[in-house]
Amino acid sequence: MALRLWELHGDGRTVTPGAVVRPEERLSWGRTAGIGMQHVVAMFGATFLVPVLTGFPPATTILFSGIGTLLFLVITRNRVPSYLGSSFAFIAPVIAAKAEGGIPAALGGILVCGVLFFLIGLVVDRTSSRLIEWLMPPVVTGAIVALIGLNLAPVARDSFAEQPWLAFLTLAAILLIGIVFKGFIGRLSVFLGVLLGYLVAAVAGEIDFAPVGDAAWVGLPDFTGPTFSWRAIALIAPVVIVLIAENTGHVKAVAAMTERNLDDSLGKAYMGDGAATALAGLGGGSGTTTYAENIGVMAATKVYSTAAYVIAGATAILLGLVPKFGALVVTIPAGVLGGATTVLYGMIAVLGARIWVESRVDFRDPVNLVTAAVALIVGAANYTLSWGDLEFNGIALGSFGAIIIYRVLRGLGGTPVFAEGAIASPAAGTGAVGPEGQAGPVGPGSPAAGGPGPDAPGGPDAPAAPGAPAVPRGPAAPSGPSGPSGPEPDPGDRPPREP
């Protein structure tokens, strides 16, 4: 099927009350461009922070995020409005992989992770997503998301300690902006807090602008090719587990908001993000994921047009071709990053707990309890396992451990109080629990699908409660399976009826 373009919505100037601009529609190009710019601003805070924290060239990452977004739209056939930005799940494994072989080795791991994700998407597209949903119920997904935030805590601590006063100022600004200001401004709390901290640092003489002055206005960013190391691949490839959860939550959230069944697009979404991540690994960019920060923009504007994302992707590509912009981003002081990441990494950890709460995971069930308990400690303490030239870090061990522990103990006879089988989005969690105890999709009016907040990452995913600080990372709201997930449950797996 050829890539579908857009029909004009109504008169192209307004959105009728109660109506939405669907993915295959658009407003006038002027208005579409304005909304596209909002998407750029919404994704920018998280997307530029990842390369700064990992030592990748920011301009290169921005360029590949724009190219990846356009590629995603083509592969999903213009049906899933999404922006692909830098995934925070790559930070810890990339830093560890760089210690073994520098940026090229890390890029090799990112490339392999992207190819693996693409192949998983191809299989899902040709079959179904039921096996993945069976492997990753909410208790597992919540544990994986939470352990990522906890694993990153030492990175935030070290940056905060370098310039405590500046870090505290930045942290306070992010918190106050997220609470005092509502709507779109509140969703930009991280970006605006970083901007304020940067300006204060500049006035205090903490920034050297010489590299910015030396950089050209127009030019290609720094490209780096990958090298392949089994150790780097072992560190980074397991991130695919997180990408599956993020993309599933994002697609389910978009489906709920547009009142469409997008289950047949889930495999293509995996393929699109996998292709974008692999492409970034080929040229020096950070691994990507679907961004829920941008779901907040769609919820506020009621415009789900993929044309706005084409504008956003093209704008990101243009920014990547401005070396002076990349040089400016690199000058962000460590203290500013420390303040911002204290919020961001903490929100990622809390979002894991949010998945448990919204999915009504019962921790009186010992299988749920030990699955989460072991995964959190392994991730937070960053357990490592070396096997020959391979090394697995806390995120990889905790993620695989959660999946294996849960399925093995269930197989040995641990009957769940609520039948589980839905993947929850890392950022927003899952929706209401259905009659069989499975998490159902969140509707457009629910906080997880639309308002501000860390995308849960608008902070990491779908926006959270109004006024909450926006956090990065990716995907958005919740999800529930479209059908049975895995083997038919025994009668004992079904939840008790409400009196």
Whole-number Å distance between alpha carbons of 408 and 119: 26
pLDDT digits (tens, 9 = 90+) for 57-91: 888 999 999 999 999 999 999 888 999 988 888 98
pTM confidence score? 0.70
> Does the residue 455 lie in any domain?
no
**Residue 437, pLDDT score:** 34
Q: Which two tokens stand for residue 21?
A: 């601009």
Structural Rg of the chain based on CA atoms: 21
**Residue 259, pLDDT score:** 77
> Does the residue 255 lie in any domain?
yes
pLDDT digits (tens, 9 = 90+) for 245-273: 778 877 877 877 777 888 888 899 999 99
Residue percentage of the chain with pLDDT more than 70: 79
**In 3D, which of 157, 188, 154, 160 has the Cα closest to residue 174?**
188
Whole-number Å distance between alpha carbons of 300 and 16: 14
DSSP 3-state of 227: coil
**Residue 178, pLDDT score:** 83
**Residue 9, pLDDT score:** 80
Name, in order, each residue with C-beta under 8 angstroms of 79's C-beta and a sequence gap of 6 or more: 23, 24, 262, 265, 268, 306
H helix intervals, 152-284: 153-162, 164-180, 183-187, 189-203, 210-214, 230-236, 240-258, 266-283
**Residue 292, pLDDT score:** 66
pLDDT band at residue 294, thresholds of 50, 70 and 90?
confident
Between 38-42, 116-120, 337-341, the lowest mean confidence (pLDDT) is in 38-42
pLDDT band at residue 111, thresholds of 50, 70 and 90?
very high
**Residue 35, pLDDT score:** 81
Whole-number Å distance between alpha carbons of 270 and 322: 30
Residue 343 has pLDDT above 90, yes or no: no
Q: How many CA atoms lie within 13 A of 274 on its CB side?
A: 24
Whole-number Å distance between alpha carbons of 416 and 92: 33
CB 197 within 8 A of CB 335: yes
> Does the residue 299 lie in any domain?
yes
> Does the residue 477 lie in any domain?
no
CB 279 within 8 A of CB 288: no
User: For residue 75, what are the domain limits?
Assistant: 24-129+149-344+361-420
> Does the residue 313 lie in any domain?
yes
Q: What total of structural domains would you count in the chain? A: 1
- Calculate mean pLDDT across residues 453-459: 36
Tell me the residue length of the chain. 499
> Does the residue 351 lie in any domain?
no
Whole-number Å distance between alpha carbons of 219 and 409: 56
> Does the residue 499 lie in any domain?
no
**Residue 396, pLDDT score:** 80
CB 391 within 8 A of CB 319: no
> Does the residue 474 lie in any domain?
no
